[in-house]
Structure 1
Amino acid sequence: MKHVTYWMVSVFCFVAISTIKAQQTYWSRVEQRESTLGIADVYQKFTTPDFQLKLVRASQTVAALRPNSEPYFDFTPGERLEIRDKDSLYHLGDINLRIKDANGIWKSYSTATTRAKVTALETSGNVLAAADLANTLPSDIPVSVKRYYELDNDQLVMRFEITNKQNRPVEIGALGVPMIFNNILEGKSLVDTHAQNVFFDPYIGKDAGYLEVKRLSGRGPALLVLPKENMAFEAYRPLLDDPTPKSIVFEGFHEWMSHSKAYAEQEWKGVEQWNKPTSLVLEPGESKSFALKFVLSEGIKNIQETLVKEARPVAVGVPGYVLPQDVEGQLFVDYKNDIASIKIEPKGALKVKEEGTTASGKKKYLVQGEKWGRARLTITYNDGVEQTINYKIIKPETDVIKDFGHFLTTEQWFDDPNDPFGRNRSAISYDYDKKEQVVQDGRVWISGLSDEGGAGSWLAAVMKQLVQPNQEEVKKIQGFIDETLWGGIQYNDGPNKYGVKKSLFYYEPDSLPKGTYSDSINYNTWAAWDHKHANDPGRSYNYPHVAAAYWVMYRLSRYHEGLVDNRSWDWYLKNAYHTSVAMVEKAPYYAQFGQMEGSVFLFILEDLKNEGLSDMAMDLEELMKERANHWRALDYPFGSEMPWDSTGQEEVYMWSSYFGYDRKAYITLNAILAYMPTMPHWGYNGNARRYWDFLYGGKAGETSRVERQIHHYGSSLNAIPVLSHFRKNPDDLYLLKVGYGGLLGGISNITQDGFGPAAFHSYPSTLKIDGISGDYGSGFYGYVVNSSSYLVNDEDMGWLAFGGNLSNKGNMVEMELTTAAKSKVFIAPKKLWLTLDAGKFEKVAYNEQTEEVTLTLGSKTPHAPNAYLRIDGEVELPYKKVRGAYQIELGKKETVIKL
């Protein structure tokens, strides 16, 4: 077989090129505007124990913020200062206010709107620089604003002093400080972005909140922005009025808001916010300070340790903050002061019970989800400090997955024998707002059953069967494969014809009867591919969806009885192989990059080996090693059709690890951790960065925009390498917290009736799920192949269960599994990874004294009379091995196995 030689190119799809060109035009317009920041004047430079701080003398805004340990790295976009030195472009050091006037109307004020030279104030003691900002604020503002850069115990603090100038009380309904750091990727190579740019993630947790700023490589010190005085992190507002063009290479800037009532009453009206919106009243002549502190953490994994050193409240939730209703979660709270009260909103949404303290003094609580939906837990400490923790309560995983599969094969099941595009018998995209199937869309792939936005629904319907097979649903999927996938989405016109089309639906009105296309849809865009472009097999990202479908059906056919009857197991596995090979042969341009769901190729390879299909296995392994060697030669092999992406890392890590390219696997993992944080908030815990797919996979309309997506498919896909690396390093609890956050985040947005949306909108004006199913299927793939339970013993917090409930009986620690599949479990003290190809683990037990492990398997079912157990660890069992797995005959009752 002829394989492809790979090369490194800078490659973008048409949409990426178009967006970048538009952005460059926008940048040129910004650059042509009059310079008003005053950068031609002299800069002020200061050195603190942690930072080199550079200020623009005229505005006293931050021109650079560099860690002393790496003085050539700048957390801010100082490199673009000569372009961004115009009115209305925000800088670190600006402030935004909304104040109620005498007529009761909120009026906005910003130091960024109209630049003017500020009045420098005399400094002494710990004050590095200070200014009265009156010149850069409207003359009718009823307060005076002064800004100070100062040291507090040698740490850099930015403080605003606001004084009421009126003889009446003044209500401040919004107070925000723009967080301007260097996340502008425009014009950079991957090497440049990973070395020079940062991403930042908010813990919107009131007084315990913080912002973590990390470079894309995941290496070097992390910057923490902490509340110092009257700066509770109440809301995180996108700065949509900053003209810096947003696109696939710039997510946009946000501001840290300590008060947000004015927005809640206007732009965000009717939207449930992460925290209760507040305002502040200043009495006549009253002054108040609002301060933020800038602290360096040695690295990303040291953030929690740094917070403890800074005497900030630290909370750790197990298994995280997405909480299935049958899981007994744990919450550990570490703070110098005692807890005065705990408040739960909505009332009764959570049940919280105190469980004592850990060896180091952390307060321990049992947390149980009672009501489905979002919930906020507010902890008030004796010193008045408030901490909020946002939870998402979901149904038990078994019920979530059952409902999801039912919705896909009923509400989303497309059955129209007269469909001119050949989509009959499929799970098609769905509009949850309209409660209808999306059979037409100006982006033809959405209705065309391919690309991520169109394949998402049928991919999810197939993947669901691997976790929770249902014979009626499998029957429908067999019809989909025979009538729509094989010979439709995928070519079937001769030997080795395995190309995958970009879309079945297309726009070609002259070739189809009048009335085929809706007049209400705009088809006059690049996204309305004609028949030729829809049939193009050159987009590699479509191939893993098809390969995964065949692989799942192989698994169901091979390890279950009576579930699959349309094709033989080997037809499915061989088709999975041929599709994998075809990706490289027919789509070599993009196949050089890591693919979302690309881990499926490794799973296919393992099963080819298990089946003794040596020639196919060798061929596939050789092909994938050629790709891995290409990645190994690159500094940061995470390209895609986009300039920067967060989905290729999954496959790059898995193959790098498989071939023993440990350094490249480690570099890949660090890059993932740079955009995938862990923090006490269900929306951001384990949430891998993704911010452009509401344009390409979300609902058309006002929410089709560049916006940080909450638990888009990147969360659960990137959880695959993170949890894989944890199993190699079971003492690194940080990895487990991040990975499990992404895993459960992958199903957090499924509705009560089983609809799976593209993602959740992070803008405070929205804060709800997207309206269509879109590309959710890729994320569900990540959940399915990674669904697992973990039993770990932390030195301080004790025994912890991720994916199960704990009980202790003498020396025995028992975990009852709560995942939907109950097919994978990791016993951390033994580094023991146990998986089932069929059958279920009901519970596992570990004897702390003897280190013996006891497995309890569920009873047999009509489709699974045997369990097939694989053990990654030094254990031998007295059972027959079949394709590398122990075949265990199940009975009418549970089966107990001791290891």
Structure 2
Amino acid sequence: MRNVVIAALRVGAVLLFVQPLAIASTVLNVQSRDFDIVLDGPSQTLVSLKPKQGGGFDFAPSKLNKARSGDGYYQLGDLDLRLRAAGEAQWQDYSTAYRRAPARELPHDATTLAAAEISLGLPSDLGVRVVRRWQVSDGGHLSLRFELTNAGKRDVELGGVGLAMVFDNVLSDRSLAEAHTEASFADPYIGLDAGYLQVTRLNGKGPALIVTGESGTPFEAYRPIADKKDDSGKALLLNDATKRGQTFEGFYSWMAASRGFAEREWKNAQQWNEPTVVILRRGETRRFGVQFLVSKSIRDIESTLAANARPVVVGIPGYVLPTDLAGDLWVSSRQAIRSISAYPAGALETAAAEGAQGWSRYKVTGRHWGRSRLTITYADGSRQAIHYFVTKPSATVLADLGRFISTQHWYDDPSDPFKRGPSFMTFDRERNAVVLQDQRVWMAGLSDEGGAGAWLALIMKQLGAPDASEIERFERFVTQTLDGRLQVNQGPDKFGVRKSLFYYEPQAPKGVSYDPAIDWTLWSAWRKSQADSVVRSFNYVHVAAAHWVLYRLARYHEGLVKAHDWRWYLDRAYQTALAMPRLAPEYVKFGQMEGEVFVEILRDLQDEGMKTEASQLEQAMRQRADHWAAEEYPFGSEMPWDSTGQPEVYAWMRYFGNAPKADLTREVILGYDPTIPSWGYNGNARRYWDFMYAGKTAQLERQLHHYGSANNALPLLDSFRRDPRDLHLLRVAYGGLMGTLTNIDQDGFGAAAFHSNPDLMRFDAYNGDYGSAFYGYAYGIGSYLARHPVFGNVGFGGSTQEQGSTVSFAPRDGFRTRVFLAEPGLWLTLDGGKFARLDYDRSSGNVSVYLDTADQFTSKAHLRVEGARYEPGSALSKERGRYVIQLGRNETSVQLRPAR
């Protein structure tokens, strides 16, 4: 240990204090303009990072410092290198975290808080010396810098340069309230020289932390630090000793070079960016570093970046581009744009367009299906990568999905001993076959999110894009399999939903031959008694949603639904919703995925004049809502932390008039649901464990566009319609909805989610719980015409044209049944018919609505007008709160005027 001299160092207008420490102390307290900082004395790695305006909040896991110290525990300030001497073939790994050695303190100047030579265990013959400096930049910002000097006799290739990004995302042994007030999540923009890491608090409050790369430190890749251990329990090289699981996603490394990994562990995966290697010449010093910025709120992250001379891009409507709808890319940079290139060549087409107030604008059109990348090169040679996904036109994507599920997932084997047919089973895209056995029995049992995923996606597709043949087949599933088998239709458990039709018994039932290659000893291989149980509330919502969609189809179309009338389906939806708290009370205290459908069922009961049923359902749901209203953070789940329950909690808080709790819920969602210039992370609500329960590649891993993305978009869309000035909400939400379409491949298979680990970088081979994701899309998708203060009229899901004071808006989303005009605050929805286009006259406020022609099953449109008070220009009849419009052989138009 050592004495620390008291010092006051002035850097420009920034006063830096080094606090006195006793000889026995093991920490070093320093300050920058924005942070109170604690460094570990011997290693000089970070212990605490508290923003001065953060009310004591700590972005670092300081509370775990005693448990997480010593060999194998990564800290902010640790460095990983994968390197080799020039001419050698094999890469070698080295890390400051693997075998913790005291740093050798170095003299430092007035801009330096701490400096030391650090040991990675590098061979002496390489002659590579590594110095780490905690410094304050010219702008007063905290910086972490590494200097690598080659004092050896040979050039050295750096195939992996990883800066550990360790923040407090460890939720283990924390209550929900503690997790929301103490923990944070990090989301990466893997955008090369313009890349950054945003670290946001779980409660959504400010300040937010932004980590940006300094010159020579591109954000090339994002490597998860796994927790593999040797036989003695010691963390292996490049692995962290902290146990990962549902309460801890793991830490990551900012990779400034990654070709050494791309040539080995990642060789079968397409990375976000081209992997590079850095050559450290004899006698050369290379610097790698990051800077820490503070944003006062999540919504201010982009403006904070711009204020600090970082390039900012904004994609409208996002970074998923259907081929029939061009997007806008707005670019703000202090450096001139030298060039823009696309990879693969020809995948994206860009054309300069008229910009606005310091922003350049480019029209971006998708040409080739799949992942693609735009790279902007600036005048100073720095590069920025923007990651896109090109899809077919949205309506075509949905048609592909419906066709694939209704045919490829279809299972109708009368000899099946589990009586699962006719039905739509889980599908394995690698085998191109349905999954009839899995040790997670629900996956082959038509229930839970994983097993119900196929049939739920198919019926939700019918809500806005009905197909008669698909509905006919689905009704066979309802009448022969769902009713009476999956859902109990008699006895004390009537309207209960079983956990699985498939099960495992050690003494195989007659006609059953269990796959011996499957491990049937695991907890998830339920016995029949467990599979028959009706106590899991999450199963009810899928069944209720199916009945509700069939009610809507029967009520607002002719001849599509034949097995039962609309009353039967609405009653089944109601009875299922009411049975959930009665038969599955343990889990109803949590928000359910797809839980908004219960609100819709209640409103339809009210619209139909079914007062008794509506009152009973409202009372049952109020009890749940009262429970949530009494909790500080009412987002519990069967998991320790989850992004599942927030959407339904928000919906009922709004319904019962609890605006403060609804607003809190919205802000919490923004804490784990970012807007980032990447199709994968834009609107991607955090999820990292559900591959274990519904994926084929079952592992803990950050999932891109799992069902949390689309479902968490729903409260954000509702909040935006209440406050159209908050465009951040719309951008995040639309990213989540459109991200859901990327899961659907060119043939129509919908995958559970995308594997973000750099050794995979692909969609999972099981459809799994994709049905819950598509529920969110189907429930929320619409076209939005918004007014940006700088960009002017912007379309999300539709194309815009302006002529004089009139803006013409043509919806191009997959349903074309919902349109929001943000400037007047007008929300238009159709339960029958489709919007062709809308003309909005900004001077008068008048709206002309043009509807598609009638078809075989839809002779009338049923238009609901909400938000702003508008009335039709001519008399229209009204049923169940909707205007009834007769459709014809040509487009039908309706004039709407502001109510006087």
Normalised by the size of structure 2, how large is the TM-score?
0.94
Matches within 5 A, 1:771-850: 771-850=765-844
CA deviations on 1:414-459 (whole Å, 9 max, x unpaired) are 1111111121011110000111100110110000000001011111
CA deviations on 1:376-435 (whole Å, 9 max, x unpaired) are 000001111100000000110100000000000100011111111121011110000111
One-letter amino acid of the counterpart of residue 267, structure 2: K
One-letter amino acid of the counterpart of residue 327, structure 2: G
Q: Aligned-residue CA RMSD in angstroms?
A: 1.3
SS state at 1:229 partner: coil
One-letter amino acid of the counterpart of residue 841, structure 1: F
Paired position in structure 1 for 2:845: 851
Paired position in structure 2 for 1:347: 345
Structure 1, gaps ≥5 residues long: 1-37
User: Contact (CA 8 Å) 1:39, 1:57: kept in 2 or not?
Assistant: no
1:218 is displaced (CA, Å) by: 0.5
1:71 is displaced (CA, Å) by: 5.1
Paired position in structure 1 for 2:561: 564
Structure 2, gaps ≥5 residues long: 1-21, 227-238
Q: Partners in 2 of 1:428 and 1:467 — Cα distance?
A: 23
Paired position in structure 2 for 1:97: 81
Q: Are residue 876 (structure 1) and residue 871 (structure 2) matched?
A: yes
One-letter amino acid of the counterpart of residue 355, structure 2: T
1:516 is displaced (CA, Å) by: 2.3
Distance change >3 Å, CA 134–CA 565, structure 1 → 2: closer
CA deviations on 1:261-308 (whole Å, 9 max, x unpaired) are 101111111311100001111211111111100011001011011011
Paired position in structure 2 for 1:53: 37
1:140 is displaced (CA, Å) by: 5.2
Matches within 5 A, 1:861-872: 861-872=855-866
Paired position in structure 2 for 1:207: 193
1:820 is displaced (CA, Å) by: 1.5
Q: Partners in 1 of 2:481 and 2:362 — Cα distance?
A: 51
SS state at 2:742 partner: coil
2:93 pairs with 100, 104, 108, which one? 108
1:77 pairs with 50, 61, 67, which one? 61
Q: Are residue 607 (structure 1) and residue 604 (structure 2) matched?
A: yes
One-letter amino acid of the counterpart of residue 749, structure 2: F
Q: Partners in 1 of 2:382 and 2:140 — Cα distance?
A: 23
Q: Are residue 232 (structure 1) and residue 218 (structure 2) matched?
A: yes
Q: Are residue 752 (structure 1) and residue 746 (structure 2) matched?
A: yes
Paired position in structure 2 for 1:33: none
Distance change >3 Å, CA 135–CA 451, structure 1 → 2: closer
Count of aligned pairs between the two proteins: 858
Paired position in structure 2 for 1:314: 312
Paired position in structure 2 for 1:356: 354
SS state at 2:403 partner: helix
1:493 pairs with 483, 490, 493, which one? 490
1:641 is displaced (CA, Å) by: 0.5
User: Contact (CA 8 Å) 2:193, 2:215: kept in 1 or not?
Assistant: no
User: Contact (CA 8 Å) 1:114, 1:137: kept in 2 or not?
Assistant: no
Q: Partners in 2 of 1:689 and 1:599 — Cα distance?
A: 20
Paired position in structure 2 for 1:472: 469
Q: Partners in 1 of 2:493 and 2:606 — Cα distance?
A: 21
CA deviations on 1:34-82 (whole Å, 9 max, x unpaired) are xxxx997521001211101100110000011111123522101111111
Q: Are residue 133 (structure 1) and residue 139 (structure 2) matched?
A: no
Q: Partners in 2 of 1:99 and 1:478 — Cα distance?
A: 61
CA deviations on 1:77-109 (whole Å, 9 max, x unpaired) are 111111111212110000011111352321111
Paired position in structure 2 for 1:367: 364
User: Contact (CA 8 Å) 1:41, 1:56: kept in 2 or not?
Assistant: no
1:149 is displaced (CA, Å) by: 0.5
| Runs of 4+ displaced beyond 2 Å | 38-42, 101-104, 134-142, 513-516
1:537 pairs with 527, 534, 539, which one? 534
1:137 is displaced (CA, Å) by: 4.9
Q: Partners in 2 of 1:292 and 1:61 — Cα distance?
A: 14
SS state at 2:145 partner: strand
CA deviations on 1:639-688 (whole Å, 9 max, x unpaired) are 01011100100000011011110110011111100000001000000000
SS state at 2:413 partner: coil
Paired position in structure 1 for 2:177: 191
Distance change >3 Å, CA 484–CA 514, structure 1 → 2: closer
Paired position in structure 2 for 1:432: 429
Q: Are residue 591 (structure 1) and residue 577 (structure 2) matched?
A: no
User: Contact (CA 8 Å) 1:496, 1:578: kept in 2 or not?
Assistant: no
1:496 is displaced (CA, Å) by: 7.3
Matches within 5 A, 1:214-613: 214-240=200-226, 241-358=239-356, 360-494=357-491, 497-510=494-507, 512-513=509-510, 515-613=512-610
User: Contact (CA 8 Å) 2:127, 2:153: kept in 1 or not?
Assistant: no
User: Contact (CA 8 Å) 1:39, 1:85: kept in 2 or not?
Assistant: no
Paired position in structure 2 for 1:631: 628
Q: Partners in 1 of 2:504 and 2:303 — Cα distance?
A: 56
Paired position in structure 1 for 2:158: 172
1:144 pairs with 129, 132, 145, which one? 129
Deviates more, 1:159-168 or 1:177-186: 159-168
Distance change >3 Å, CA 71–CA 836, structure 1 → 2: closer
Q: Partners in 2 of 1:236 and 1:280 — Cα distance?
A: 17
SS state at 1:433 partner: coil
Paired position in structure 2 for 1:686: 683
Distance change >3 Å, CA 797–CA 418, structure 1 → 2: same
User: Contact (CA 8 Å) 1:163, 1:286: kept in 2 or not?
Assistant: yes
Q: Partners in 2 of 1:354 and 1:372 — Cα distance?
A: 22
Q: Partners in 1 of 2:407 and 2:475 — Cα distance?
A: 15
User: Contact (CA 8 Å) 2:541, 2:594: kept in 1 or not?
Assistant: yes
User: Contact (CA 8 Å) 2:418, 2:501: kept in 1 or not?
Assistant: yes
Q: Partners in 1 of 2:829 and 2:243 — Cα distance?
A: 48
Distance change >3 Å, CA 71–CA 165, structure 1 → 2: farther
Q: Partners in 2 of 1:392 and 1:39 — Cα distance?
A: 57
**Identity percentage of aligned residues:** 48
Q: Partners in 2 of 1:774 and 1:71 — Cα distance?
A: 42
Q: Partners in 2 of 1:815 and 1:64 — Cα distance?
A: 51
Paired position in structure 2 for 1:649: 646
One-letter amino acid of the counterpart of residue 346, structure 2: G
SS state at 1:829 partner: coil
User: Contact (CA 8 Å) 1:117, 1:135: kept in 2 or not?
Assistant: no
Q: Partners in 2 of 1:70 and 1:259 — Cα distance?
A: 33
1:134 is displaced (CA, Å) by: 3.2
Normalised by the size of structure 1, how large is the TM-score?
0.94
Q: Partners in 1 of 2:69 and 2:240 — Cα distance?
A: 12
Q: Partners in 1 of 2:513 and 2:661 — Cα distance?
A: 50
Q: Partners in 2 of 1:140 and 1:691 — Cα distance?
A: 42
Distance change >3 Å, CA 289–CA 524, structure 1 → 2: same
